[in-house]
Structure 1
Amino acid sequence: MKIEENKSSLAKETKKILQKNKIHLNNNLGQNYLIDEFKRNQIISFANLKNDDNILEIGPGIGTLTIELAKKVNKVTAIEQDTNIFKILKKRLKNENINNVELINEDALKVKFPDFNKIVSNLPYQISSPITFKLLDYSFDLGILMYQKEFGERMVAKSGNRNYSRLSAMLYFKSLIEILDNVSPESFIPKPKVESVILKLTPKKNINSKISDEEFKNYEIVCKTLFQHKNKKCKNALIDSRQILGYKDKKLLKSKLNEIDVNELFLKRAVNMSPEEILLLSKKLETVIKK
């Protein structure tokens, strides 16, 4: 009963703010606002906030997370692209007398992020992949992030799993990822058509990286090449996606691949190759890839 009351309370507050400002949320643009106070508190608890933390939030909306985060940390930097929503949040912060939030009215994919040590966000789902890889180019302690459930399951999938993909393989060397909890469509307005998950993301730069930046560039190229044809045998997948490797001539690439002693890997399919095996292959292909 308490959870339902909390959800109802936050829902009423959110609807009141939106109606007052004549804002109509667009489901197609990923404008789904959290109205479940229990889930909001859970997200904040997962972040293990300290009073000296500097938080980055992407897509803060009307401040459902922002205001509560600001009460517990040194600073919050919130990046909101929608100008109308940005103005509402700015006004709310002023009314709440909150002065440790820096608001940026920009596209998060285009703006340079300021210094932060944690990111806490209900991410716009349509930019999930590019914003995640952009984040991992920065140094920070951890992220507590909301994703579409299907996307989250692809992020953590292991080789051989039906959800294993280029995304899974790419993130393997970039971060530790843990699904912390599920979130139902009823926790948002408007209700999305999909379920969501809360993830904890810890950059591997802060732990133990098995791969250098230069090696990762080759690894990225090979992942892209293989997963375009993830159910084909590795060698055939490389040949069929040869343009990514810098080749037009099928016979030329085939002859170069024949010179490399990785026949065991060439017979495997990308969907069954572990990230370590793909990394080994990318190192063997270093002289073959045209940059």
Structure 2
Amino acid sequence: MTGNFPKKFGQVFLRDKNIAAKEVRLLSVRDGDEILEIGPGDGILTDILLSYPVKLTAVEPDHRFYESLAIKYAESIYTGKFKILKESFLDIPPANYNHIIGNIPYNISSQILFHLLDFNFESAVMMVQKEFALRLVAKPGTKDYSRLSVNAGLRSNIKIISNVNRQVFSPVPGVDSSIIEIRKKSCDIDIKNFDAFLIKIFTMRRKKLSTILNYSGPLSEKRPGELTIDQLIMVYSRI
């Protein structure tokens, strides 16, 4: 399958079963848990997940992988243990799962993360590009700190578990990857409006808030990338 892998989905495929098993262990699944797998590809995670007493739903937009998995796991589909949807994760409505897992395409990582955070779940484990992982956990005042860092930190606690060498993927990508763990946290702010605020200020991140917003309150002489999430919320609430 992977010799002619679908480049339009931006995927590379993990070939190390020990790393796949580590990802699944990080979920700490319990009997009867409902799990969502994003982009199973040829099933390296699926194989391991179905060895647990869980209910698994997978979303796979490429018809070749969808058909292959549907045949391979026909018995699990028949018994109701496994369900596979032929569509993109970005197109399915938010729902409730105990856990979410996936080795996700590099080229739509941001979109997947933002959509993921609209779901209700206990924990999620994702394999992402290493540079993307560093942006997710970046601190104020660093070059990687961005709108992405703020949005992710506002709605979740994210931890980089380990880095993964590019040589364990096929085809070999030009970058290394990281396994991240995501746990949601409560957020009572209007996400859509706050994100519009972040877009505005981080587009001009080298300027002071007083210039960007015509704002003269606390922290007005600071630049967006210097402020913590709590400080950004405070400024947002005053404009």
TM exceeding 0.5: yes
- TM-score, normalised relative to structure 2: 0.93
SS in 2 for 1:170: helix
In the alignment, is residue 274 of structure 1 matched against residue 221 of structure 2?
no
Q: What is the aligned partner in structure 1 of residue 197 from structure 2?
A: 222
Please tell me the residue identity of whatever aligns with 1:98: S
Deviation at 1:221, TM superposition (A): 2.0
In structure 2, the CA distance between the partners of 1:60 and 1:72, relative to structure 1 (3 Å rule), is same
In structure 2, the CA distance between the partners of 1:228 and 1:52, relative to structure 1 (3 Å rule), is same
Alpha carbons 2:95, 2:119 under 8 Å: kept? no
2:59 to 64, 76, 79: 79
Deviation at 1:268, TM superposition (A): 0.4
1:236 to 211, 225, 228: 211
Please tell me the residue identity of whatever aligns with 2:102: S
Cα distance between partner residues in 2 of 1:43 and 1:57? 12
Cα distance between partner residues in 2 of 1:171 and 1:48? 22
- TM-score, normalised relative to structure 1: 0.77
Correspondences of 1:163-178 after superposition (within 5 Å): 163-178=144-159
In the alignment, is residue 155 of structure 1 matched against residue 136 of structure 2?
yes
Deviation at 1:115, TM superposition (A): 3.3
Deviation at 1:266, TM superposition (A): 1.6
Please tell me the residue identity of whatever aligns with 2:49: L
> What do residues 47-66 of structure 1 show as CA deviations (whole Å, max 9, x unaligned)?
11212111001111011101
Cα distance between partner residues in 2 of 1:213 and 1:283? 10
Correspondences of 1:111-126 after superposition (within 5 Å): 111-126=92-107
SS in 2 for 1:128: helix
SS in 2 for 1:84: helix
Cα distance between partner residues in 2 of 1:92 and 1:217? 41
| Structure 2 alignment gaps of length 5 or more | none
Q: What is the aligned partner in structure 1 of residue 219 from structure 2?
A: 265
| Structure 1 alignment gaps of length 5 or more | 1-17, 239-253, 286-291
Alpha carbons 1:118, 1:142 under 8 Å: kept? yes
Alpha carbons 1:233, 1:270 under 8 Å: kept? yes
2:40 to 57, 60, 64: 60
Please tell me the residue identity of whatever aligns with 2:93: K
Number of residue-to-residue matches in the alignment: 236
Cα distance between partner residues in 1 of 2:219 and 2:19? 44
Alpha carbons 1:218, 1:282 under 8 Å: kept? no
1:98 to 39, 56, 76: 76
Q: What is the aligned partner in structure 2 of residue 248 from structure 1?
A: none
Cα distance between partner residues in 2 of 1:132 and 1:31? 16
Correspondences of 1:124-139 after superposition (within 5 Å): 124-139=105-120
Alpha carbons 1:27, 1:192 under 8 Å: kept? no
> What do residues 249-286 of structure 1 show as CA deviations (whole Å, max 9, x unaligned)?
xxxxx4xx4xxx51x4121011111111110010001x
Deviation at 1:77, TM superposition (A): 0.6
Please tell me the residue identity of whatever aligns with 1:37: K
Deviation at 1:43, TM superposition (A): 0.6
Deviation at 1:114, TM superposition (A): 4.5
Correspondences of 1:203-222 after superposition (within 5 Å): 203-205=184-186, 209=187, 212-214=188-190, 216-222=191-197
Cα distance between partner residues in 2 of 1:282 and 1:153? 25
Cα distance between partner residues in 1 of 2:76 and 2:51? 8
Please tell me the residue identity of whatever aligns with 1:88: S
Cα distance between partner residues in 1 of 2:8 and 2:211? 38
Cα distance between partner residues in 1 of 2:194 and 2:153? 11
Greater Cα radius of gyration, structure 1 or 2: 1
Of all paired residues, the percent bearing the same amino acid is 31
SS in 1 for 2:182: strand
Aligned Cα RMSD in Å? 1.7
